[in-house]
Chain A
Amino acid sequence: GENVEQHPSTLSVQEGDSAVIKCTYSDSASNYFPWYKQELGKRPQLIIDIRSNVGEKKDQRIAVTLNKTAKHFSLHITETQPEDSAVYFCAASHTGGFKTIFGAGTRLFVKA
C-alpha cells in the first residue's frame, strides 16, 4: 500500500543552525505534499505545502523542495529558533484519491 517514510525521527540543532527533514513517498500519483507542525499539547497545523507542478517553495525561514523523479521531498528550516521546537509531519495525497498518508514525524529540538 501507499506509505510515506520520514527521517530523521529526532533532530537536535543549535539555535541559528539549519534543520532538514526528509520524506519519501511510494504512490507515484501523489501530487500534494503538506507539512504540519505540532507543538507540545497542541493540534497539528499546516506550515507549508507544495504541489507537484513546482520544485521548490519558500516562506520566510521555511522552504520545501520536491523531486518527483525520486519521489522525495524535504523541509528546510533556516536560522532555527527555540520556538521551532515541535514535531513535524510530512504527508502526501493526490487529486484522484481521498486518503492522506502521513510520515511518522520528526521531533525537532532547537537548543538556545
Chain B
Amino acid sequence: EAGVTQFPSHSVIEKGQTVTLRCDPISGHDNLYWYRRVMGKEIKFLLHFVKESKQDESGMPNNRFLAERTGGTYSTLKVQPAELEDSGVYFCASSPARNYEQYFGPGTRLTVT
C-alpha cells in the first residue's frame, strides 16, 4: 500500500509569489490534515478535511492560504502571495477515522526569500 505522498519536496520562492502544494493521501482515507512546522516549534494544525468538506480550518493563518480537496481525493494548499513568515515544512497526513493514528507524508519544505 502506498503511503501519503507530497509534492514538491522542496520549494524556494520569492516573497509575493504563489506556491501550490499537493498531498495525495492513502487511498480510502476520508480524513486529511494539513500541518506546518517552523524550525524548532510544534507541528501546528492548519486544517482538517473529511472527504471534500473542510471540518476545521481554524489553524489557517490568514486568507493568503487556500486549501481544497475536490472530489475527496488529493488536496492542494495554495499560498498567495507568499510572505517570509510562511517558510517552514508543510506536512499532510491522512487517517481512516478521526481520533485515530495519522499517517504523515514526507513534507514539503517551503522557503520564501
A contact set with B: CB distance below 8 Å: 4, 6, 9, 31-32, 34, 36, 42-46, 49, 89, 91, 93-95, 97-105
Contact = CB atoms under 8 A, between A and B. Distances in A.
22 contacts: A6-B42, A32-B99, A34-B102, A36-B104, A43-B91, A46-B101, A49-B101, A89-B43, A91-B43, A93-B99, A97-B98, A98-B50, A100-B45, A101-B45, A102-B35, A102-B42, A102-B43, A102-B44, A104-B40, A104-B41, A105-B42, A105-B43
Contacts of B69: none
**Majority secondary structure, B binding face:** loop
B33 A100 contact: yes
Nearest to A1: B58
Given A98-B48, A99-B56, A100-B102, A43 B107 contact: yes
